[in-house]
Structure 1
Amino acid sequence: MPFSTFLFCINLFTFFFRPQHFIRMQIMRQSVITSTCKTRRRVFCLFRLGLVNMQKHAQFPQRFTKRCTPRDFYYIIEKSHLRNRPSKNLRVQYKWQIYGCPLRLDFKEKFHPLIELHNSEGFVEEVKANFIVWEIHGRDDYSFNTTMKKTGCLHEAQTWKSMTELNKDLPLEKVWGPENYRHCFSYAIGKPGDLNQPYEIINKSNYNHLVWPMYHTGMYVFQVKILDPNYSFCNFTAIFAIEVYGVIPSPSGYLVASFLFFLMLLFFSILVLSYFHYMRIYKQYIYEPQYKIRRRQKNS
């Protein structure tokens, strides 16, 4: 790779199936092209990577600001959705100038990112090398649709869990990279391990997709890193954001219990009121007339 500045662009492809149709959405934030069988949305290149100091700078054309409201905001990540399981929920600031507009996906849509490399003159190539993604704020409530066994691994592949256990003293972005990458397609000494685990490495041809939780929505800010050491001596990275929607939140147990208690209280209150109401009717139209008749008979 020459010592020049490159634009590292992410083409965010979402694949999902419907009866009799295969829909492919390419996100490049520039223009919108629609046809009867597929939807293609162009997205502008977001990140300029200097190969010397590798500093990231966001670029946003004027037309891009119309895609969403250009503003920073805060959101909460529940502690149960974080990798280190902290004692408190995490409050996060969404930095629009860095992350740009998030791609909105339904929770049932699988997501497969594809990467392109651009220089100052434009498109260079599609990146076919292996790469990894991770949520920069520590979320781990997402997974991958492909297992190590389906990918063809002969022994257990590297994962974020295994790499963080091996490099506990390093920050998350440094525990796994080209310098310590080992593929899983050759035989190793010992048992192969659990090959039914999710395969967490992505490339253009393996169609490994990110899949989302079925019980809650959320905002995800991912970072991408080229994993193949033979691709370049440069540490190529980029950031993109995804907002998952569509899940109807389930009510809390306390709310359900309170609602049921209210319904039971209302039901028994109606029963008690009905009892006293019909007792008054019984007394007025049945008991009192008979009592008056008996008194008249005694007096006569």
Structure 2
Amino acid sequence: TISYDCDTYGNPIEAYYAETFTPKVALYDGDTFIKYIDSNFVVWEDLRRIDYSYGLNLKTAGCNRKPDNNWDSLAKILNPLTYWTNVYSKDCYSGAYSLSSSESSLPFPIMNSSNVNGLSWRGSEDGHYFFTLLVIDPDFSYCTLKTQFSVSITGVPLLVSTQFLIVLSTTLAFILVLAATYFFHPSKRKIKPL
């Protein structure tokens, strides 16, 4: 079991491990729904789990150049709220194409409701992830819009070694039960001497 603050993260959102997950972000004023947000946002895992990935890299996102910052390095050094601003989320689509092969495989962490980017799960077991989401589009709001949420991943298949052990132990148990009934069951047949 996992325990966490429901007031902070809310009820967990259930997601299937084999499907890409993109949060659907809604804007509220108190308890009043305003609209769904279609602007750019980023998410990061609060417990620093690394067994998930973004669905797009710089090349598949259509970037022409590497962003002015190194998102992975900054994430390890700084508080994400301090580096995810419009200063650091500069457009990677403008300018001449200048991505090297190593840069083109860098993750593209910016998501919105209209693109295909999302989170993919690489864990070997079902689990919980605790995310912070930050809207980074400076044209959407001058306020810092952020929220926290939890995702519960289900449906991760057992490891092959675990499956093998289950099948092997079940088969051995079945053979032992058969052998025990054969040897210890009283027989009503009598053997006639020759």
Indicate whether the TM-score tops 0.5: yes
Cα distance in 2 between the residues matched to 1:110 and 1:101:
20
- Letter of the 1:160 partner, please give it: W
- Structure 2 residue 89 is matched with structure 1 residue 163: no
1:152 to 41, 62, 69: 62
2:128 aligned partner? 219
- Letter of the 2:59 partner, please give it: K
- Letter of the 1:195 partner, please give it: S
TM-score (normalised: structure 1): 0.48
TM-score (normalised: structure 2): 0.71
Cα distance in 2 between the residues matched to 1:235 and 1:198:
24
How many positions carry a matched residue from both structures? 164
Residues 199, 205 of structure 1: alpha-carbon distance in 2 compared, 3 angstrom cutoff: same
Contact kept, 8 Å, 1:151 with 1:206, in 2: the verdict is no
1:192 aligned partner? 99
Q: Counting strand residues as a fraction of each chain, which structure ranks higher?
A: 1
Structure 2: stretches of 5+ with no match in the other structure: 173-194
Q: Deviations over 1:88-125 (max 9, x none)?
A: xxxxx511232222112221121111222222583323
- Letter of the 2:135 partner, please give it: I
Return the index of the structure with the highest Cα Rg.
1
- Letter of the 1:122 partner, please give it: T
Residues 180, 214 of structure 1: alpha-carbon distance in 2 compared, 3 angstrom cutoff: closer
Residues 144, 138 of structure 1: alpha-carbon distance in 2 compared, 3 angstrom cutoff: same
Contact kept, 8 Å, 1:132 with 1:227, in 2: the verdict is yes
Taking the TM superposition and a 5 Å limit, the aligned residue runs for 1:289-300 are none
Cα distance in 2 between the residues matched to 1:161 and 1:211:
17
Cα distance in 2 between the residues matched to 1:96 and 1:214:
23
1:176 to 60, 84, 98: 84
Q: Deviations over 1:166-213 (max 9, x none)?
A: xx2x3244232234321201126x942322333210012112121111
Taking the TM superposition and a 5 Å limit, the aligned residue runs for 1:70-109 are 74=2, 93-109=3-19
Structure 1: stretches of 5+ with no match in the other structure: 1-72, 75-92, 264-300
| Identity in percent | 30
Contact kept, 8 Å, 2:59 with 2:105, in 1: the verdict is yes
Report the secondary structure of 1:148's partner residue. coil
Contact kept, 8 Å, 2:64 with 2:98, in 1: the verdict is no
Report the secondary structure of 2:59's partner residue. helix
Report the secondary structure of 2:138's partner residue. coil
RMSD (Å), alpha carbons: 3.0
- Letter of the 1:216 partner, please give it: E
Kindly report structure 1 stretches of 4+ aligned residues shifted beyond 6 Å: none
Cα distance in 1 between the residues matched to 2:52 and 2:28:
29
2:34 aligned partner? 124
Deviation at 1:132, TM superposition (A): 0.1
Cα distance in 2 between the residues matched to 1:118 and 1:214:
33
Contact kept, 8 Å, 1:104 with 1:245, in 2: the verdict is yes
Report the secondary structure of 2:72's partner residue. helix
Taking the TM superposition and a 5 Å limit, the aligned residue runs for 1:21-32 are none
Higher RCO by CA contacts (8 Å cutoff, separation 6 or greater): 2
